Amino acid sequence: MTQFKYLLLHAQVGLGVGAFISLLSVTVHHATLSMTQFWLLMGMSVVMGLVTTIFDVERLSFISQLSGHFILELLTYTIFIWLTFHDWVITWHSIPTFGVIYVIVFFYFRQQGQNRARRINEKLATRRRADD
């Protein structure tokens, strides 16, 4: 896969996850977004998707990848909230929500990765048995 396609894929996944979570949040809070807020939100989602490429840096340990990812995602989120509301109180009060959503999304994608690895290992084991 070319580097462009790889980054585009991460941007699309970020956009999808961000749009889903944002739509859920807007619906629960009965909020209305301005067009500026909407485009900021979509831009934040794309950036957050691109930040996930840190997990592909093999020279970093998983803990380093996870820590760096969390910090970069939190920074992106904090900047977005501040640009949207121009209020540090709202920004600071939204951080616990970010933490909860981060943990949920992390465990979802971790489970997806484990399931994918299990399926690949099952196919490899089947091929080995067929070759023997």
Kindly report, residue by residue over 41-66, the tens digit of the pLDDT.
899 999 999 999 999 999 999 999 99
8 Å CB contact between 68 and 53: no
Q: How far is CA 66 from the centre of its chain?
A: 12
8 Å CB contact between 72 and 44: no
The pLDDT of 71-90, averaged and rounded, is 88
The answer on pLDDT for 90 being more than 90 is no
Domain count within the chain: 1
Long-range contacts at 122-129 (CB < 8 A, ≥ 24 apart): none
Position 25 confidence tier, pLDDT thresholds 50, 70, 90: confident
pLDDT of residue 67: 94
Identify the sign of the CA torsion 89, 65, 51, 98.
negative
pLDDT of residue 71: 95
Between CA 8 and CA 52 the distance in angstroms is 12
Read off the pTM: 0.78
Domain that holds residue 94: 3-131
